[in-house]
């Protein structure tokens, strides 16, 4: 399972790495300055001892554990064994530490320097620290190096704890902002955002609140408009249907011609379609509306009927229709199923100028595919936004499996009218 990146974790690790790096660098500098300080003190002591008199060839002088010699061969043998060549540059301290670590002093240390006294004579000042000498000098406390490292580690621990507290202090308002954002809905948007203690999260909360308010207002306006439009459409639809009923009664008295009856039947079906469309708009515009009633329909007969009603869209086009349906009864919201199939078939007919439109139905699964032989047709110019929008909304509302695919010469749409508990 992949862990999503977190700004909080990234910032914490970045500052911790920076603090650790600074702690290590300053600890190393402290150790270096400590050693430089010891070397400077050793060099100063040796410079003063180089002025000691009565130093002759073959007669070195020993003073406070330092040996002052006038020639290299008088220097102690263990010093000469550690340095292959005698120092020749005055004032340059030569040293060699044996067995040194960060947490313990060296087992042995060798120091030698070549100095010129006031009479201009050369002197070799040397000193050897063995294990017993170093132990006696450090027995009152631990190694200075150990102290420096422990001080650095302690400082790093304090820095980490302080950083953790700061991170919690900084992230607490943002976590509160996230939790508040998750609870936002159309009801509590009427209340102003809470105070998150700091200017930045307060400003971000206000931006989120204003944006969601604007979106909610737009949705409310659309729902009100949809509701009003649907209600207003009911009156002309009722007039059309009442006049159709009147024409049907007149047809019983004085029968119309075949063409006139077909026209009347088409007007009647269009009136029913408008009624269903208005009901669907009203239902989609209300979240708590009563869902459409279910009824048993013959899916294969409905497809054939819709193809016949929409065939006028293919007049003047070289389009071949291929229909493969099988008898199948299913209980569905009739209006929603009718709107979806009508829009999908209409879309295929409108977007095909010459070619083939195939409709396959097996059980509750329907496939509509068009193969257009005219590649120069602008599909965007043939669209019908409301129908496609309604189709998408209805499919999402009833959770019908839906898949669309762009092919080399058209579109392929698959929809399964599964039974729902809506």
Residue 379 structural domain: 294-416
**Last residue in a domain, options 249, 284, 319:** 284
CA–chain centroid gap for 267, Å, is 54
* Domain containing residue 304: CATH number: 3.30.565.10
143 and 17 in one domain? yes
> In the structure, what pLDDT confidence band is assigned to residue 300 with cuts at 50, 70 and 90?
very high
Q: For residue 127, count other CB atoms closer than 10 A to its CB.
A: 21
Q: In this model, does residue 416 exceed pLDDT 90?
A: yes
Residue 307 domain-assigned? yes
Mean pLDDT to the nearest integer, 207-226: 80
pLDDT in tens, 10-55: 777 777 788 778 777 777 777 677 677 778 888 888 888 888 888 8
Mean pLDDT to the nearest integer, 266-289: 68
> In the structure, what pLDDT confidence band is assigned to residue 337 with cuts at 50, 70 and 90?
confident
Confidence at residue 140, expressed as pLDDT on a 0 to 100 scale: 47
411 and 317 in one domain? yes
Q: Checking DSSP bridges between strand 318-324 and strand 294-298, what pairing results, if any?
A: unpaired
327 and 274 in one domain? no
> In the structure, what pLDDT confidence band is assigned to residue 382 with cuts at 50, 70 and 90?
very low
133 and 15 in one domain? yes
Give which of 170, 171, 190, 188 is closest to 180, Cα–Cα: 188
pLDDT in tens, 58-113: 888 888 888 889 888 888 888 888 888 888 888 888 888 887 665 566 778 888 89
Q: In this model, does residue 155 exceed pLDDT 90?
A: no
350 and 330 in one domain? yes
Residue 360 domain-assigned? yes
33 and 63 in one domain? yes
Q: In this model, does residue 194 exceed pLDDT 50?
A: yes
Q: In this model, does residue 326 exceed pLDDT 90?
A: yes
Tokens 């469309």 belong to residue: 277
310 and 234 in one domain? no
Structure pTM?
0.45
- Name the domain count of the chain: 3
Confidence at residue 136, expressed as pLDDT on a 0 to 100 scale: 54
124 and 11 in one domain? yes
47 and 117 in one domain? yes
383 and 270 in one domain? no
Mean pLDDT of the chain: 79
129 and 27 in one domain? yes
Confidence at residue 367, expressed as pLDDT on a 0 to 100 scale: 94
280 and 234 in one domain? yes
Q: In this model, does residue 139 exceed pLDDT 50?
A: no
> In the structure, what pLDDT confidence band is assigned to residue 214 with cuts at 50, 70 and 90?
confident
């Amino acid at each position: 399972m992949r862990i999503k990146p977190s700004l909080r974790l990234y910032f914490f690790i970045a500052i911790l790495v920076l603090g650790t790096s600074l702690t290590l660098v300053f600890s190393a500098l402290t150790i270096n300055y400590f050693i430089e300080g010891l070397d400077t003190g050793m060099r100063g002591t040796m410079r003063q001892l180089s002025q000691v008199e009565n130093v002759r060839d073959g007669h070195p002088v020993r003073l406070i554990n330092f040996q002052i010699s006038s020639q290299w061969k008088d220097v102690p043998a263990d010093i000469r064994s550690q340095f292959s060549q005698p120092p020749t540059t005055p004032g340059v301290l030569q040293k060699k530490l044996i067995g040194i670590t960060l947490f313990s002093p060296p087992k042995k240390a060798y120091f030698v320097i070549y100095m010129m006294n006031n009479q201009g004579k050369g002197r070799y000042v040397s000193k050897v620290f063995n294990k017993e000498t170093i132990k006696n000098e450090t027995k009152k406390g631990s190694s200075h190096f150990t102290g420096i490292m422990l001080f650095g580690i302690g400082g790093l621990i304090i820095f980490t704890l302080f950083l953790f507290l700061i991170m919690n202090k900084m992230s607490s308002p943002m976590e509160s902002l996230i939790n508040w954002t998750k609870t936002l809905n159309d009801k509590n948007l009427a209340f102003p955002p809470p105070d998150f203690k700091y200017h930045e999260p307060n400003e971000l909360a206000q931006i989120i609140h204003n944006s969601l308010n604007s979106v909610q207002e737009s949705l409310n306006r659309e729902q009100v408009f949809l509701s009003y439009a649907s209600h207003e459409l009911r009156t002309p639809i009722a007039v059309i249907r009442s006049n159709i009923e009147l024409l049907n009664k007149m047809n019983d008295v004085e029968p119309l011609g075949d063409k006139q009856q077909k026209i009347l039947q088409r007007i009647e079906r269009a009136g029913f379609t408008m009624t269903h469309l208005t009901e669907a708009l009203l239902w989609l515009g209300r979240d708590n509306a009563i869902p459409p009633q279910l009824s048993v329909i013959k899916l294969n007969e409905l497809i054939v009927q819709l193809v016949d009603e929409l065939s006028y869209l293919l007049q003047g086009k070289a389009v071949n229709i291929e229909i493969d349906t099988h008898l199948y009864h299913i209980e569905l919201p009739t209006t929603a199923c009718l709107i979806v199939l009508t829009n999908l078939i209409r879309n295929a007919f409108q977007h095909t100028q010459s070619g083939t439109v195939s409709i396959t139905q097996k059980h509750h699964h329907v496939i509509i595919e068009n193969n257009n032989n005219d590649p120069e047709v602008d599909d965007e110019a043939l669209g019908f936004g409301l129908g496609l929008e309604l189709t998408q909304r209805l499919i999402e509302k009833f959770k019908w499996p839906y898949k669309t695919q762009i092919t080399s010469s058209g579109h392929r749409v698959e929809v399964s009218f599964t039974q729902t508990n809506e």
